Each structure stands twice: as structure tokens, then as C-alpha cells.
């Protein structure tokens, strides 16, 4: 627009020169002086780094006023003006193009966008892979399991009893004076049967166990061994023995405490066993107590199972059937078989430990009973023994088969305890029955913490799956993250050593931190990172990158804000308005004074007076610019520069007209025309509110050409109206159009 106005101004000034009867050379000289002045003013106002070129062109044009060959000076001036204009246009086009399409900053110290970062082996997997990994490691705890149980007894080796049956005291069970009366049969096993009985002198109900089949040396030896063990183990969870003797027929009798209750296997067969899980775990821990006591007395049970545990009506727990008990050392040699002497598989096939199946006497020991306790816990959790459906031949064919504890309804921690106890490697099991009991007791103590952990882990799994979606809703992400974090922290408050809760808290904080980083929320990401139990170098680096991007973005915002403040003409608009009023008033007063002096015959106005008035106005504006430079912004500084340059160009214009002998009235008309062109130019550069000012100057110039005799009145009216409209424009102009507003790249968010 500025170039178009300048070209139009040149044509109008040439027309005015023809109208005023100027010679072509003089008209061209005057036009070039004005054009060069406008070029200089424009370059200074726009800060296009063309001040040297434009001032050089202006000086070259002004040289036309010097004496010498007019054609030479005119040629040099034309060359200077063309060079300055071409350079100005090229630089202007380049700078506008750079502003319209800014490039992304690149180079050292500037991080690439997160989307362009290469994949690294140490970077966390994307959310969909995290979800898959999480489901794999924390997924459903099991599927269906075979529940068929089949007992298979192994071959029993006959060993000489530690005491002869004939040496036992006779316990009469029939006839007058009998001490014991046998009643109905209560149960039968592979090597014995149990009757209810009554101890007549004490009127005490007892349980009487006899060998079966009668006369079998193996059954007799087993009964005597059980009696020995029961008498040795004086423990609340082992059925006490009242007396060992023989009946009237010489068959051994084992009189024991009568326990009113049911086999534990019957209670565990109920599908609602998990409703009384605490009760059953209490029974299990009492069994562990009894087995641990036996181990301290040097005895292993070797046939622990739910059917060998009796639960009394009042909660008493008794471990039964010690017929396969073996001694761990020489203390019981001659009475019990030593574990080191075992050479054939004995026990219940569905429960037997691998070393029992292999008949590896050297490996049978405390860890063997721990395996059987694991089988007992397996029955509690799944409703089936660990090797359900396997015969002894099946077990011998694959003695070290690994048991998978598959119990969907069972707590994960109990399943882990069971799996450790059922490890084929004896060294990997619990070191003792007491250690296994303590593990179960620890679960009961910290169960609330564990249940909170399980619930929080489900939230983490849902969060990972949600983050794997293309555009996860922030509200759902925050809700799941907060619920999971609260659950883990509450679990750790109850049990600080809950490792699963610690790992889960680490994972949910990492997921939430990574989500905050992806959204560009540095503050939230930093807060989540600082809450991590363990540092994560990858997340720390990504947060540092995000902070650097934020600093660069803030710097750019500050720069753009400074640019906006710089082009804000709302600053000092009151001062500009009064400056225009004062400037116009001074010019009007000066013209009125010269008119009065002429009317009084004191002085005839001429170019000297006009040059002095314009020069003084230029000096005054220059002084105002220097005095207000520190209190105003860049837009006002440029405006003052533009005005001072225009006034200086007007001074040179008057000198050119004087030098060329142009009539004073015609020279003033050309001056008004020059002011009109400069006003239109400032309208193109700053605001169209300045158009009325240019129109006033243009009308005044035309009127001077038509009615030269009304020069004083036209000058006063022209300057008064022009500066009045300029004052109004200065009051309402709030932004300059000469500084392009920054435009963001397509698809990017605005910087502010």
C-alpha cells in the first residue's frame, strides 16, 4: 500500500507541476525530493534497515539543488532512488515471508518434539504393551482344576515291633469285671479300625483302635508305632493315648481320647468353604503346630491330609493316623523306621512329595511334611489334592511334576504360599512347618492391606488399558489414578512391608507421570515423579526435556508480549492528541501572525519564513521524541521518527522550490500536497483514521491552486482542520498496522 500511495503521489505532484506551469525538469526535481523524503520516512518508521540506502537517495536528490549540470544530478538521483526502492522491496518481502511462516527452532540445546523421539531400549513400553504385560503378570489366578481324589496306598514293609504284643497288659472287653466295653465301629482304614468304647471304671468314653486285618504283622506293627508316637507327642493337637494293651484274644488295643467331631475333609468338601476361610486357616495353623512339634521330637508324619485331621465340636483340632511316621534320627531307632532307611514309596499318591515317590530316604525329612502341608492347603483352596486323579504308578512315572495352584476364588497370597510349599525342590520350600504357619498368620494379619492391594491393582490394570486407547478421557484417567494411589497408600499404612503395594504404587505413579508428560503438564508430572518410591531416570529425562520446552515457550511468549506492547498505540495516546493540537495551534498562530504582519505592511512572507516554521517544528518534534523515549513504547518512537523525517523532508522540499524559483503560493500548495501524501502514507502504515487529515491537506492544496488570493485563509483553515482531525485520530488509534501480528503455523496452538 505504501508503494502504491508513493507512486500515486508522484503522479499527482507531476500533475500539480504541470498545473502550476513548472518546467519538466523542475517538476521532476520537486517530485523526486518529495519521493526520496517519503522513502526515508517510511524506512525509518518500519525499521527495515534501509536507512543508509534511503538517506543516500535523499541526499542524492537534494544534490539536484546544487549548481551544475542538472541532467547528471538527475541521473544519479534516479539511480539512487531505484536502488533504494528495489532493495527495500526485496528486504520487505523477505521479512514478511519469514514472519508469515516461522520455522521450528532446531539446533543444539533445543529438544525435538516428543513424537519424533526415536525408540530406545531403555524407554518404557507404550501403554498398550504395558497393559498386555500387566495382564500377563497380574491376570486371572487360574482356571478349572481336576477335583477327583483317589487314595492309593503304597506297599508296607513289615518291621518287627518295638514291643511284643504278649508283653502288653490285658484289657478285658467282655464278661464280668471287664474294664473296657466296645461299642459300634466308628471307622476303618487300610491297617486298622476304630470302635467307640466306654472305660467302665471312669465312665469315660474312649476311642479304641485295633489292627486290621487281625493278626497281620504289618497292621500290628503300624498300630504299635502309632501308639508310640502318640504317647511321645504330648501336644494339644495330637490325640492323647490312655493305654496300650491287648484284648482277651491277644490282639493289640490302643485306647485313645474320644473326639466328638468330623473329619476336616468333610467340612472342606462344602462349596461355601471360602465363607469361613479364617476358620479353616485357623485349623490349618493348628495342624502346623502339631507337625512342627513332632519335628522337634524327631518325627515326620508322612501322611498329612484333610481326612487325617479331626475337628471337634468345640473347635479342638487333632492330627490323626501316625502309622507312617518315621524318625529323623537314631533316637527312635528300633521303634520307628528311620527316614534314611525308606526304600519303597509309601503314602497317599495324590499328596505324596516327589522324594516320597522316589523312595529317596536321604531326602525325606522336614521338607517332606512341608510339602504335605502344602497339599493340605491346596485342598483347602481348590477342593482337591495337588495330584488329584493320579495313581501311584502315575506318580512313579513322573515323580517331580510341578503343581500349578489354580484357585480363582483363593487370595493370591495364599496361593503363593501353597505354591512355595509344593515346590518339587525341597530346598525351595519353607524351612519348617512353623515358617509356613507364620506365612499364613502373616497373611491373616495383613489381609486388609492385601485386599486393598488387590483392589488397587485392578484399578492399575484398568488405567493401563485406558491409556492404551487413542484419546483417553482425562476425567477417567485421573479417577483411576487417584483410586489406585489411595488404595496402595492405605495398604502400605496398614502394612509398610507390602511389596506388592510398593510395586503397584510405583507403577501407577509412573503411568500417571507419563500421561502428564504426554499432555505437556509439567507441574503435575513433576509432582507425580517426586512421589515415586524409586527414581526413574527415563521419566526424569523426559521431565527435563518438557521443562526446557516450557522455558523456550515462555521466552517466546514474553517476546511476543513485548512485540504486542511495542505496537500498542494505546500507550501515550493522550500525549499524542495534545501534541497534534499544540503543533497545529503553533502553525496556525504562525500563519496568522505572518498574515497580520502582511496586512499591516510590516513584512511580506516568503520561503524563509516557511522554512523557519517547518524547521522549528521539526526541532520541536525531535526534542519531544528524545525526551519521551524512555517513557513510551516502540510504536510511538517510530511514529515520532516518521513525523520528524516528514517535516525534514518538507524543509528540503521548500528549499528545493526556493532554489528552483517556484512561486511562493505554488510552493505552499506543493507543500500541502506533500503533507497530504505523507498523511495517506501514514494511514496505510498505521491507521485509516489518518485519511481525513490527508484529505484536508489535499483540499487545501487544490484550493490554493484555484484561489491563490485566499492563501492566508486557506492555510489557516487547512492546517487547523488537518491537525484537528489528526488530534482526533491520535486519540482513537490503538494499534499500528505497520508491524505484522505473529501468525502460528497451521495445526499448532497459539503461543499465548
471-524 per-position pLDDT tens digit: 899 999 999 999 999 999 999 999 898 899 999 999 999 999 999 999 888 899
Asked which of 61-65, 231-235, 568-572, 614-618 is least confident by mean pLDDT, the reply is 61-65
Q: Are strands 326-327 and 204-211 parallel, antiparallel or unpaired?
A: unpaired
- Of 329, 292, 306, residue with least CA distance to 439: 292
Asked which of 33-37, 226-230, 267-271, 664-668 is least confident by mean pLDDT, the reply is 33-37
Give the whole-angstrom CA distance, residue 614 versus residue 647. Answer: 6
Q: Are strands 299-300 and 317-319 parallel, antiparallel or unpaired?
A: unpaired
Cα torsion 97, 98, 102, 106 to 10°: value is: 140
Please report which helix (H) or strand (E) contains residue 209, including its range.
strand 204-211
**Residue 729 near residue 693, CB atoms below 8 Å:** yes
Task: Kindly report the three-state secondary structure assignment for every residue of 423-455.
Answer: CCCHHHCCCCHHHHHHHHHHHHHCHHHHHHHHH
- Does the domain spanning 263-446 belong to CATH 1.10.10.370? no
- Of 88, 89, 63, residue with least CA distance to 77: 63
Give the whole-angstrom CA distance, residue 62 versus residue 653. Answer: 9
Give the whole-angstrom CA distance, residue 570 versus residue 567. Answer: 9
pLDDT at 352: 94
> Grid coordinates 493278626 are at which residue?
215
The cell for 180 is: 473296657
Which is more confidently placed, 128 or 61?
61
Length of the chain: 752
Cα end-to-end distance, the chain, whole Å: 30
Q: 599: number of CA atoms within 13 Å, CB side?
A: 9
- Highest CATH level, class, for 165-261: alpha beta
Give the whole-angstrom CA distance, residue 84 versus residue 129. Answer: 64
Residue 11 has pLDDT above 90, yes or no: no
Residue 720 has pLDDT above 90, yes or no: no
Dihedral sign from CA coordinates of 338, 344, 348, 354 = positive
Name residues whose C-beta falls within 8 Å of residue 149's C-beta, 6 or more positions apart in sequence: 350, 384, 385, 388, 389
**Residue 323 near residue 230, CB atoms below 8 Å:** no
For CATH 1.10.510.10, the residue range(s) in the chain are 263-446
CB atoms within 10 A of CB 625: 17
Name residues whose C-beta falls within 8 Å of residue 623's C-beta, 6 or more positions apart in sequence: none
**Exposed, middle or buried by CB within 10 Å (0-12, 13-18, 19+), for 127?**
buried
In the three-class reduction of DSSP (H, G, I as helix; E, B as strand; rest coil), residue 320 is classed as coil
pLDDT at 86: 66
Report residue 52 CA to chain centroid gap.
Answer: 55
595-637 per-position pLDDT tens digit: 787 777 787 778 788 888 888 877 777 776 666 654 566 667 7
Residue 419 has pLDDT above 70, yes or no: yes
Q: What is the DSSP letter of 750?
A: P
**Residue 432 near residue 366, CB atoms below 8 Å:** yes
Give the whole-angstrom CA distance, residue 309 versus residue 282. Answer: 13
pLDDT at 122: 39
The cell for 217 is: 504283622
Q: What is the DSSP string of 78-137?
A: HHHHHHHHHHHHHHHHHHHHHHHSPPPP-STT-PPPGGGPPP-TTSPPPHHHHHHHHHHH
Give the whole-angstrom CA distance, residue 652 versus residue 244. Answer: 141
In the three-class reduction of DSSP (H, G, I as helix; E, B as strand; rest coil), residue 53 is classed as helix
Give the whole-angstrom CA distance, residue 422 versus residue 546. Answer: 50
pLDDT at 123: 39
Q: What is the DSSP string of 235-266?
A: -TTBPPEEEEEE-TTS-EEEEEE---EEEHHH
Number of H helices, E strands in the chain: 24, 10
pLDDT at 600: 78
| Choice among 303, 321, 369, 423 that is catalytic | 303
Please report which helix (H) or strand (E) contains residue 220, including its range.
helix 217-232
With pLDDT > 70 as the criterion, what percentage of the chain qualifies? 72
**Exposed, middle or buried by CB within 10 Å (0-12, 13-18, 19+), for 502?**
middle
Name residues whose C-beta falls within 8 Å of residue 598's C-beta, 6 or more positions apart in sequence: 604, 605, 712
Q: How confident is the model at residue 10 (pLDDT cuts 50, 70, 90)?
A: low
Residue 104 has pLDDT above 70, yes or no: no
Instruction: Tell me the range of 30-34, 263-267, 655-659 where mean pLDDT is highest.
Output: 263-267
In the three-class reduction of DSSP (H, G, I as helix; E, B as strand; rest coil), residue 63 is classed as helix
For CATH 3.30.200.20, the residue range(s) in the chain are 165-261
In the three-class reduction of DSSP (H, G, I as helix; E, B as strand; rest coil), residue 637 is classed as helix
> Grid coordinates 549548481 are at which residue?
67
682-704 per-position pLDDT tens digit: 777 767 788 888 888 889 888 88
- Of 675, 687, 714, residue with least CA distance to 13: 675
pLDDT at 737: 47
Q: 303 catalytic, yes or no? A: yes
Please report which helix (H) or strand (E) contains residue 518, including its range.
helix 499-518
Which is more confidently placed, 423 or 570?
423
CB atoms within 10 A of CB 423: 18
- Across the chain, mean pLDDT equals 78
Rounded average pLDDT over 93-101 = 58
Q: How confident is the model at residue 656 (pLDDT cuts 50, 70, 90)?
A: confident
Rounded average pLDDT over 722-739 = 67
Amino acid at each position: 500500500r505504501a508503494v502504491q500511495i508513493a507512486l500515486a503521489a508522484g503522479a499527482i505532484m507531476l500533475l500539480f507541476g504541470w498545473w502550476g506551469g513548472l518546467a519538466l525538469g523542475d517538476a521532476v526535481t520537486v517530485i523526486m525530493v518529495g519521493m526520496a523524503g517519503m522513502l526515508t520516512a517510511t524506512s525509518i518508521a518500519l525499521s527495515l534497515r534501509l536507512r543508509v540506502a534511503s538517506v543516500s537517495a535523499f541526499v542524492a536528490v537534494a544534490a539536484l539543488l546544487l549548481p551544475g549540470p542538472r541532467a547528471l544530478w538527475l541521473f544519479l538521483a534516479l539511480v539512487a532512488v531505484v536502488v533504494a526502492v528495489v532493495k527495500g522491496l526485496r528486504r520487505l518481502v523477505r521479512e514478511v515471508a519469514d514472519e508469515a511462516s516461522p520455522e521450528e527452532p532446531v539446533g543444539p540445546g533445543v529438544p525435538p518434539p516428543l513424537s519424533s523421539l526415536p525408540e530406545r531400549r531403555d524407554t518404557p513400553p507404550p501403554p498398550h504393551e504395558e497393559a498386555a504385560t500387566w495382564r500377563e503378570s497380574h491376570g486371572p489366578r487360574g482356571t478349572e482344576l481336576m477335583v477327583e481324589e483317589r487314595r492309593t496306598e503304597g506297599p508296607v514293609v513289615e518291621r518287627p515291633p518295638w514291643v511284643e504284643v504278649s508283653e502288653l497288659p490285658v484289657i478285658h472287653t467282655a464278661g464280668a469285671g471287664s474294664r473296657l466295653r466296645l461299642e459300634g465301629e466308628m471307622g476303618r482304614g487300610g491297617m486298622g479300625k476304630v470302635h467307640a468304647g466306654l472305660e467302665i471304671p471312669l465312665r469315660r468314653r474312649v476311642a479304641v483302635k485295633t489292627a486290621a486285618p487281625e493278626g497281620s504283622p504289618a497292621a500290628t506293627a503300624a498300630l504299635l508305632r502309632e501308639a508310640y508316637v502318640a504317647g511321645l507327642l504330648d501336644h494339644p493337637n495330637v490325640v492323647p493315648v490312655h493305654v496300650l494293651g491287648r484284648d482277651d484274644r491277644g490282639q493289640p488295643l490302643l485306647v485313645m481320647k474320644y473326639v466328638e467331631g468330623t473329619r476336616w475333609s468333610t467340612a472342606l468338601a462344602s462349596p461355601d468353604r471360602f465363607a469361613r476361610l479364617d476358620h479353616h486357616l485357623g485349623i490349618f495353623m493348628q495342624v502346623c503346630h502339631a507337625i512342627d512339634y513332632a519335628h522337634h521330637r524327631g518325627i515326620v508324619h508322612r501322611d498329612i491330609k484333610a481326612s487325617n485331621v479331626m475337628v471337634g465340636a468345640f473347635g479342638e483340632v487333632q492330627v490323626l493316623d501316625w502309622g507312617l511316621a518315621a524318625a529323623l534320627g537314631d533316637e527312635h531307632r528300633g521303634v520307628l523306621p528311620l527316614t534314611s532307611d525308606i526304600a519303597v514309596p509309601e503314602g497317599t499318591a495324590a499328596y505324596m512329595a516327589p522324594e516320597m515317590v522316589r523312595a529317596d530316604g536321604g531326602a525325606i525329612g522336614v521338607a517332606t511334611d512341608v510339602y504335605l502341608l502344602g497339599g493340605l492347603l491346596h485342598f483347602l483352596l481348590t477342593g482337591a489334592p495337588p495330584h488329584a486323579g493320579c495313581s501311584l504308578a502315575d506318580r512313579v512315572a513322573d515323580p517331580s511334576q510341578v503343581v500349578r495352584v489354580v484357585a480363582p476364588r483363593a487370595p493370591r497370597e495364599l496361593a503363593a504360599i501353597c505354591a512355595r510349599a509344593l515346590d518339587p525342590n525341597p530346598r525351595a520350600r519353607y524351612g519348617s512347618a512353623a515358617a509356613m504357619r507364620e506365612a499364613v498368620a502373616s497373611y491373616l494379619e495383613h489381609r486388609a492391606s492385601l485386599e486393598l492391594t488387590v483392589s488397587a491393582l485392578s484399578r492399575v490394570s484398568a488405567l493401563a488399558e485406558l491409556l492404551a486407547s487413542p484419546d483417553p478421557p482425562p476425567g477417567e484417567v485421573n479417577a483411576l489414578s487417584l483410586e489406585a494411589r489411595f488404595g496402595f497408600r492405605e495398604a502400605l499404612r496398614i502394612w509398610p512391608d507390602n511389596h506388592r503395594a510398593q510395586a503397584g504404587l510405583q507403577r501407577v505413579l509412573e503411568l500417571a507421570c507419563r500421561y502428564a508428560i504426554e499432555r505437556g503438564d509439567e507441574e503435575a508430572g513433576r509432582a507425580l515423579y517426586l512421589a515415586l518410591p524409586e527414581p526413574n531416570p527415563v521419566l526424569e529425562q523426559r521431565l527435563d526435556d518438557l521443562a526446557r520446552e516450557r522455558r523456550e515457550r515462555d521466552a517466546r511468549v514474553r517476546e511476543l508480549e513485548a512485540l504486542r506492547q511495542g505496537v500498542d498505540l494505546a500507550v501515550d495516546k493522550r500525549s499524542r492528541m495534545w501534541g497534534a493540537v499544540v503543533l497545529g495551534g503553533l502553525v496556525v498562530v504562525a500563519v496568522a501572525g505572518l498574515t497580520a504582519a502582511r496586512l499591516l505592511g510590516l513584512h511580506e512572507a516568503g520561503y524563509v519564513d516557511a522554512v523557519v516554521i517547518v524547521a522549528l517544528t521539526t526541532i520541536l518534534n525531535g526534542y519531544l521524541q528524545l525526551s519521551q523515549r524512555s517513557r513510551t513504547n516502540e510504536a510511538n518512537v517510530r511514529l515520532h521518527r516518521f513525523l520528524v523525517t516528514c517535516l525534514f523532508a518538507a524543509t528540503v522540499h521548500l528549499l528545493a522550490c526556493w532554489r528552483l524559483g517556484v512561486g511562493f503560493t505554488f510552493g505552499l500548495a506543493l507543500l500541502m500536497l506533500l503533507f497530504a501524501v505523507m498523511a495517506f502514507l501514514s494511514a496505510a502504515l498505521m491507521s485509516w483514521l489518518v485519511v481525513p487529515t490527508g484529505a484536508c491537506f489535499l483540499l487545501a492544496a487544490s484550493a490554493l491552486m484555484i484561489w491563490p488570493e485566499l492563501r492566508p485563509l486557506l492555510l489557516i483553515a487547512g492546517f487547523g482542520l488537518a491537525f484537528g482531525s489528526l488530534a482526533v485520530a491520535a486519540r482513537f488509534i490503538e494499534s499500528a498496522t505497520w508491524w505484522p501480528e505473529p501468525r502460528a503455523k497451521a495445526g499448532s496452538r497459539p503461543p499465548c
